Structure 1
Amino acid sequence: MDGRGVAGDARAWVHEAVRLVQADGNRSADTHLRVFPLPPAWGVDLYLKDESTHPTGSLKHRLARSLFLFGLANGDIGPGTTLVEASSGSTAVSEAYFARMLGLPFTAVVPRSTAPAKLGLIRRQGGRVHLVDDPGAVYAVAEELGARPGHHYLDQFGQASTVTDWRGNNNIACSIFEQMALERHPEPAWIVVGAGTGGTSATIGRYCRYQRHATRLAVADPEGSVFARAWRTGSRDVTGPGSRIEGIGRPRVEPSFVPGVVDEVVTVPDEESVAAARLLHERLGVRAGASTGTNLVVALDLVDRMCREGRAGSVVTLICDDGDRYLDTYYDDAWVAARGWDLARARARLDPLAPPVA
């Protein structure tokens, strides 16, 4: 076969790969927008967009799809390409899913501290796990592996804000506003998200400005993460220990974090993140990870602020992933106690913000 035939076969493979990835999105229903029960007299409504209902169980399914489509369209991914990612778990689960769909090998460079259930999910999707003792080293190790011949580093942290079309095209921001259209306060006063890559906050913040919405964006940042300090100081050079809340918070400012589209960043204590995740399970019967708890803490505080200011309206946040992944960590009392987290103290502050509604 001559060179043109080889090139033609590769192009045909890419066309089919794009079709497969797009078909996955086309046959997946949009994620639910759940109502969190609050006293009607407050005049403020709270919603959680349930990203745990994606085929791979987390918000990262959207990012993985976008990374694959970008890589295919950009000529980075072809037949036989070995894919590599640096991930704390959920993104790697979703990327392993798409890699298996296309018949491509996939390696996730993951901190050794990642929840065992997540590692099992990566392997179940056909991915290989490369464990790293130092969480801060995952970038360099993944980049080194991805630079090998026939390999491609997907680079979620560097590419998240680039690969998603923030103007619309069924991104998460577009979906939120479409689902809010018939609610009594259709334009949210606030949308609250965590930041891991920074891609979700960048997409939502850009979309709100592009569509001229009055909605403000709050980033919920777990303790140990640097995003709050970076936003307050205007410096991208700050570093820190990183987060103990899987999926959000970073020891460095990621390239995809866009501080200029964020209106407020709130640091959330770890024990409140875990307590709020359990509170969500009690109120809605939905078990989610602690990153969802981080979001919920900030959302409830904003609801409280609006009530104290006498402002009616709505607040929207996200359920980031399925809490069954954390049964042996955030939902295990002994594991939580070993980390010194006082959930009773956290609940004493949070419960008045979310009283049971008959």
Structure 2
Amino acid sequence: MQDIDRFSRADRDWVDDAVRRVEADANRSADTHLVRLPLPAFPDIDVYLKDESTHPTGSLKHRLARSLFLYALCNGQVHEGTTIIDASSGSTAISEAYFAAMLGLPFVAVMPRTTSAEKIALIEREGGRCHLVDDPTTIYAEAQRLADATDGHYLDQFTFAERATDWRGNNNIAESIFEQMRLERFPIPTWIVVGAGTGGTSATIGRYLRYRRHRSSLCVVDPENSAFFPGWRDREAGTTTNCGSRIEGIGRPRVEPSFLPGVVDRMISVPDAASIAAARAVGEVLGRRVGASTGTNVWGVLTLAEEMRAAGERGSIVTLLCDGGERYANTYFDDGWLTEAGIDPAPHRERLTGWLR
């Protein structure tokens, strides 16, 4: 009989302490706020933004990064000294770099070269290293190659996002929304609207709605050049596009494994110019900049609100404020960058003005 002890008690002690540190971070952070978006044009429809920018790393992806680290630690995949690697469009990598630094682990983010300079600086500020690639579709293979070369661990957010989060509760984002809505005029939202990057958030919310038997419907909004919308429409999980999304954080060139089309009630394809116009307009209403993925969300919200008003329906809609606009000062809020990219938000401003006044 052969007895092999692969990991020492000291290794288990390190993992125990790592889990404690990650959970302590969640315990220190109060839940994110639910912000009312004033819409005088829709007196019978209340719209709320769950402000995920208040997380320690400034975005919705803080929740995902925490879950991915706990998942990997509890699966025995991460140990003291393990190099952590993930493929990302930016925000998840910022949060992952934060948790890696907390645990004293090296971190490498594999990202498209078009990722905003502000996000790259934030990753490096957290102690992470950025590995940039020209072709966004190669980030998965390159992340795996680096993990193999360093004997590290590839977190693979696009595969494990829907598995790492406890969708039944445990203060996930869905449970938090319904608890915060409890005293509002319409406590059970008619719609919850989110974008899809990994698909993990929509999977968590869609499952939770069914588990708790809520009557709310889930709408996923999707930017140009993303595979999620055509894949959902055509019921084809193998759908791909030949380029990446210009709205950082959402939209993918393939339908990611964590995206669960069966829990999505509706999808809306949103032009990039509309996303950016909405982000700018919402920033004016709130008095602070928001990212373009929030603009995508709000465009979907206002589309649904217009339909509800036309049908004489009353109710509430909840969406996410994914991150702050300061990360995009040199892109979405730079008129020169928009001109060079061939994006003109102006045609969408009139419709937004009618909605927001």
Q: Structure 1-normalised TM-score? A: 0.97
Q: In structure 1, how many angstroms separate the alpha carbons of the residues matched to 2:204 and 2:6?
A: 40
Separation in 1, partners of 2:185, 2:6: 59
Name the residue aligned to 1:309.
Answer: 311
Structure-1 separation of matches of 2:249 and 2:324:
12
Give 3-state SS (helix, strand or coil) of 2:177's partner: helix
TM-superposition CA deviations, 1:246-296 (whole Å, max 9, x none): 000000000000000000010000000000000111101131110110000
333-342 or 248-257: which moved more?
Answer: 333-342
Change (3 A) 1:339 1:4: closer
CA–CA separation in structure 1 for the residues paired with 2:203 and 2:288: 27
Q: 1:271 to 1:6 in 2, by over 3 A?
A: closer
CA distance in 2, matches of 1:5, 1:153: 21
Residue 80 of structure 1 contacts residue 150 of structure 1 at CA under 8 Å; is this kept in 2? Answer: no
Aligned to 1:55: 56
Q: Structure 1 runs of 4+ off > 2 angstroms?
A: 3-6, 147-150
Residue correspondence of structure 1 range 82-93 to structure 2 within 5 A: 82-93=83-94
User: 1:121 aligns to what?
Assistant: 122
Out of 251, 263, 278, the residue aligned to residue 280 of structure 2 is 278
Indicate yes or no: 2:227 matched with 1:212: no
Q: Given residue 287 of structure 2, which amino acid in structure 1 is its aligned partner? A: G
Percentage identity across paired residues of the two chains: 61
Aligned pair 1:336/2:322, yes or no? no
CA contact (8 A) 2:83 2:150 kept: no
- CA drift at 1:41: 6.2
Give the Å deviation of 1:322.
Answer: 1.5
The aligned residue for residue 29 of structure 1 is 30
Opposite residue 291 of structure 2, the aligned amino acid is: G
Please give the alpha-carbon distance, in whole angstroms, between the structure 2 residues aligned to 1:190 and 1:60: 22
Segment drifting more, 196-205 vs 148-157: 148-157
Residue in 2 aligned with 1:94? Answer: 95
Matched with 1:288 is: 290
Listed as ranges, the gaps of 5+ residues in structure 1 are: none
Q: Distance in 2 between matches of 1:293 and 1:41?
A: 18
- Partner of 2:300, secondary structure, is helix
Letter in 1 for 2:48: Y
- 3-state SS of 1:311 partner: coil
What are the superposed Cα offsets for residues 38-96 of structure 1, whole Å, 9 maximum, x if unpaired?
A: 12862100000000000000000000000000000000011010000000100000000
Shift of 1:150: 3.1
Aligned to 2:257: 255
Distance 1:186-1:150 versus aligned 2 partners, 3 A rule: same
Inter-CA distance 40–296: structure 2 relative to 1 (3 Å threshold): closer
Partner of 2:187: 186
Mark the CA change 1:43 to 1:153 in structure 2 (over 3 Å): closer, same or farther: same
What is the SS of the residue equivalent to 2:46? Answer: strand
What is the alpha-carbon distance in structure 2 between the residues aligned to residue 343 and residue 13 of structure 1?
Answer: 51
Q: Which residue of 1 aligns with 2:149?
A: 148
SS of 1:147's equivalent in the other structure is: helix
Query: C-alpha distance in 1, partners of 2:188/2:236?
Result: 32
Q: Is residue 166 from structure 1 mapped to residue 140 from structure 2 by the alignment?
A: no
**Cα–Cα, structure 1 residues 77 and 264, in superposed 2: closer, same or farther, change >3 Å?**
same
Q: Compared with structure 1, are the counterparts of its residues 292 and 107 closer, same or farther at alpha carbon in structure 2 (3 Å cutoff)?
A: same
Cα displacement (A) at 1:307: 0.6
- Say which SS state the counterpart of residue 32 (structure 2) adopts: coil
Alignment deviations for residues 211-238 of structure 1 (CA, whole Å, 9 cap, x no partner)? 0000000001001101111111110111
Residue 267 (str. 1) matches residue 269 (str. 2) = yes
Give the drift of 1:4.
6.2
- Residues matched between the structures, number: 353
Does the C-alpha gap of structure 1 residues 41 and 89 become closer, same or farther in structure 2, counting only changes over 3 Å? closer
Contact 1:301–1:353 (CA under 8 A) maintained in structure 2: no
Give the TM-score, by structure 2 length. 0.97
8 Å contact 2:222–2:296 — kept in the other structure?
Answer: yes
